[in-house]
Structure 1
Amino acid sequence: MLQLHSFLLYTHILAGALAMVLFVIPMVARKGSLNHRKYGRFYTYTMYVLAISALVMSVMVLVAPTYFKGQLINQSTSPEDTLATVRMFWTLLLFLSLLTFTSIHHANRVLQTKGNRAPLRKWHYVAMPVLLMVVASVLFVQGVLMAQHALVSPYLHFIFAVLGIVNGYQILSYIFSKNVARNRWLIEHLSSMCGSGIAVYTAFFAFGARHALAHIGQWQLLFWVMPGVLGGVAIYFYSKKYETLNTRKGV
């Protein structure tokens, strides 16, 4: 099992590095162009590998934390607190994995189905945003516990809990709303692609680069939150741009 975990970890790191590069190309390329479509597909496949590997690793550690993180826990001066921190840390990674998978899958499916929302109303598709909201709620509860016991800073848990609930709600709203604008699927596609990019860059700063940023203390929170802020601004302007186009067309 340790070998499987190591294999998934290196696969995840490789996919993450590749995704951070590939994300930029379709975003700056002209929408609908060959480069946009080709590199968009490469990015989508890479993100699936990234998200699934992280999901499996997260579940493995959360199910058996003392097996996978036993050395860290046993060497700690307070094993119980370290165990609790490991669970909270990997719950956050589980959330980011779900956010990544849900975002990239939603972006891919709305591109395939376009204005036809019927295929999105199947239980296994609806289960993804619902599960995202459930795990986000768990994050919020963990944040409250972290604040009470002063284990580690709870701010990330609170921020991403809100992000997950809002993201899940928006997907469900698109799926089940009685009427949506004709080109709403395009806004969903672009915003979900941006959301997946937010997740991958946030995961890099929160996990991959945490040791390099450790010396700046609480300021590292800025780097963890910054992808979400910049991505949120990008999503807002993309949405406004295409909503304006819809209005001009009388949709």
Structure 2
Amino acid sequence: MLHLHTFLLYIHIIAGALAMVLFVIPMVARKGSLNHRKYGRFYTYTMYILAVSALVMSTMVLVAPTYFKGQLIAQSASPENTLATVRMFWTLLLFLSLLTFTSIHHANRVLQTKADRAPLRQWHYVAMPLLLIAVALVLLVQGVMMSQHALVSPYLHFIFAALGIVNGYQMLSYIFAKRVVGNRWIIEHLSSMCGSGIAVYTAFFAFGARHALTHIGQWQLLFWMMPGVLGGVAIYFYSKKYQHLKTRRGA
């Protein structure tokens, strides 16, 4: 099992590096162009690999933390606190994996179904944003526990809990809205793609590059929040742009 975990880790790292590069190309390319479609597919496949590998690794560690992190726990001065920290850390990774998978899958399905939202109302599809909200609530509870026991900083848990609840709610709102305007599916697709980019870049700064950023202390939060802020600006820009195009065409 350790070999499987190590193999998945290498696959995850390679996919993450590719995804960070591939995300930029379809976002800056003209929408609907050959490059946008081609590199968008490459990015989607890479993100599926990234998310699934992370989901499996996170589940493995959460199910058997003493097996996969036994040496770290045994060498700690406070094994119980270290075990609790491991569980909280990997719950956060599980959430990011779920956020990545849900965002990229929603973006892909919206693109396939366009204005027809009936296929999105099947129970197994609706279960994804509901599960995202549920895990976000777990993060919220863990954040409160962390602030009470001063195990580690709870800020990431609070930030991502809010992000997960908002994302899950927005997906459900789109799926079950009685009526959506003509090109709302384009905005939904681009918003979810941006959401997946936020997840992969945030994961890189918060975990992949955490050792390089340790020396700046609490300023790390700036790098952890930066992808969300920039992604939020991009989502706002695309929403206004395509809403404006619809309004002009309607006029």
TM-score (norm 1): 0.99
Q: Percent of counterpart pairs with the same letter?
A: 86
Instruction: Name structure 1 gaps, 5 residues minimum.
Output: none
Once the two structures are TM-superposed, the CA of residue 242 in structure 1 deviates from its matched residue by: 1.1
User: Which runs of at least 4 in structure 1 moved beyond 3 Å after TM superposition?
Assistant: none
Give, in angstroms, the shift of residue 248 of structure 1: 2.5
Give the Cα separation in 1 of the matches to 2:156 and 2:13. 22
Aligned to 1:132: 132
Partner residue, 1:171? 171
Distance 2:248 2:181 in 1: 12
Q: 2:94 is aligned with what amino acid?
A: L
d(CA) in 2 for partners of 1:106, 1:35: 21
Query: In structure 2, how many angstroms separate the alpha carbons of the residues matched to 1:122 and 1:223?
Result: 37
Return 5+ residue gaps in structure 2 as ranges: none
Q: Provide, for residues 190-226 of structure 1, a one-character-per-residue CA deviation record: whole Å limited to 9, x for no partner.
A: 0100000000000001111111111111111111111
CA distance in 2, matches of 1:137, 1:148: 17
Which residue of the partner structure matches residue 216 of structure 1?
216
Match of residue 148 from structure 2:
148
Distance 1:247 1:58 in 2: 45
Partner of 2:204: 204
Letter in 2 for 1:231: G
Q: Which residue of 1 aligns with 2:244?
A: 244
Q: Which moved more, 1:211-220 or 1:32-41?
A: 211-220
Say if 2:57 is the partner of 1:57: yes
Give how far 1:249 is off. 2.9
- What is the match of residue 19 of structure 1? 19
Which residue number corresponds to residue 227 of structure 1? 227
Would you say 1:106 and 2:106 are equivalent positions?
Answer: yes
State the match for 1:5 in structure 2: 5
CA RMSD of aligned residues (A): 0.9
Q: Which residue of 2 aligns with 1:71?
A: 71
Residue of structure 2 in register with 1:44 after alignment:
44
Following superposition, the deviation at residue 95 of structure 1 comes to 0.5
TM-score (norm 2): 0.99
Alpha-carbon distance between aligned partners in 1 of 2:181 and 2:13, rounded to the nearest angstrom: 39
- Deviation of residue 14 (structure 1)? 0.2
Instruction: Tell me the CA shift for residue 240 of structure 1.
Output: 1.3
Partner Cα separation in structure 2 for residue 86 and residue 248 of structure 1: 53
**Letter of the 2:40 counterpart:** G
